[in-house]
Structure 1
Amino acid sequence: MTLTPIPIDDRPSAFQTHFNLEFHNTALITEALRASGVIDREGNKSLAHIGDTVLQLSLQLEGRARRATREQINYATQQIAANVNLTKRGFALGIDAYIWNNPSQGNSVSPKVMATTMEAIIGAAFLDMNRDMAEVQSIIDALGLVWPE
């Protein structure tokens, strides 16, 4: 069975509906779902840079709250924030259906684009939620990027 792709213009709102999210600034989630090369060379990369930092900070804060050692915090952060894990989680959640991919890449989303998009979603949420880490944590949790039990 072939699924009908979500029209590009509908992807940001469909993403928000599917994940029960509401971005006040929809331009941020639109940018987060746009791979580089679609409109410009940058695409979602600047949001991804922010999101990577926010995810790592979130994991470090959680580790500290759990009284984990520095080595445990570093290990958990490296594992959870790794591109391999971000890619795996993104595909498992079906986020590839919402990405506006570079036309030169065809319809398939590469692992790198998926990892970058996952980070960009976190970055967009951080900016949209006025840099409130507690609120952003709900997005990180929804993406399954949580401290290991």
Structure 2
Amino acid sequence: MSTAMYKLKLERAEVIIGYHPRKPAEFYLWEALQVAGSGQNLIGGRRVYDGNKRLAIVGDAAMASAIAGPWYEQNDTLGAWDTKRQRLLSNANLARVAHETDLVGCMVVNPRNPVQASTKLAANVVEAVIGAVWLDSDESMSAVRQVMETLGLGLNGMVKLNPFSLL
């Protein structure tokens, strides 16, 4: 991939998520945009044979944590937790977000074997981007919540920024 295309995809992703990496030399966001088989095997000194899948696991856990705190504070039921988590973090909803924000347009695929952004691939890119933000921000839940809000994942006020955490 050309340097110009690399920069274009990264800059576009930054605009979409409303987050500029604090540690650009780690290339977490670039890793998040990689689909398995993209041809990138080493990013920031890390092996990424599976593309963004490892970051997607981190992002999935970070998003669940981001909505768990407010759920707990609301003293809501276990059933309500399960419903809200499934509705907000389902592959279908995350894929919808990826398509509506055009994060799918930032994905890096193998040019010799282009793939369509299936529900799973599109959901993975959202999860991986959140994982990248989590790691890049030194595990800042405020940064994760802010990107989730920017992407439209603050369903029914479940994800709220604590104004004091930004001080």
TM bracket (short chain): 0.7 to 0.9
User: Residue 122 and residue 19 in structure 1: after superposition, are their counterparts in 2 closer, same or farther (change >3 A)?
Assistant: closer
**Structure 1, unpaired ranges of 5+:** 1-5
User: Residue 49 and residue 108 in structure 1: after superposition, are their counterparts in 2 closer, same or farther (change >3 A)?
Assistant: same
Partner of 1:25: 23
CA shift digits 1:107-148 (9 cap, x unpaired): 632221110000000000000111011221101111111243
Asked whether the 8 Å contact 2:16–2:103 carries over to 1, the reply is no
Paired AA for residue 92 in structure 1: E
Paired AA for residue 20 in structure 2: E
Question: How far, CA to CA, are the matches of 1:69 and 1:104 in structure 2?
Answer: 49
Q: How high is the TM-score relative to the length of structure 2?
A: 0.78
CA drift at 1:93: 0.9
Decide which of 123, 126, 136 is 2:131's aligned counterpart. Answer: 123
Question: How far, CA to CA, are the matches of 1:129 and 1:19 in structure 2?
Answer: 14
CA shift digits 1:49-81 (9 cap, x unpaired): 000011111111121122211110111001111
SS at 2:156 equivalent: coil
Mapped pair 1:136 → 2:162:
no
Aligned counterparts, 1:2-81, within 5 A: 7-26=5-24, 27-38=27-38, 39-40=40-41, 41-81=49-89
Asked whether the 8 Å contact 1:96–1:114 carries over to 2, the reply is yes
**Aligned residues between the structures:** 144
Question: How far, CA to CA, are the matches of 2:58 and 2:145 in structure 1?
Answer: 14
Q: How high is the TM-score relative to the length of structure 1?
A: 0.87
Partner of 1:3: none
Question: How far, CA to CA, are the matches of 1:98 and 1:117 in structure 2?
Answer: 9
Mapped pair 1:114 → 2:122:
yes
Decide which of 143, 148, 153 is 1:145's aligned counterpart. Answer: 153
CA shift digits 1:25-70 (9 cap, x unpaired): 2301000011111124311111100000111111111211222111
Aligned counterparts, 1:77-92, within 5 A: 77-92=85-100
**Shift >4 Å, 4+ stretches:** none
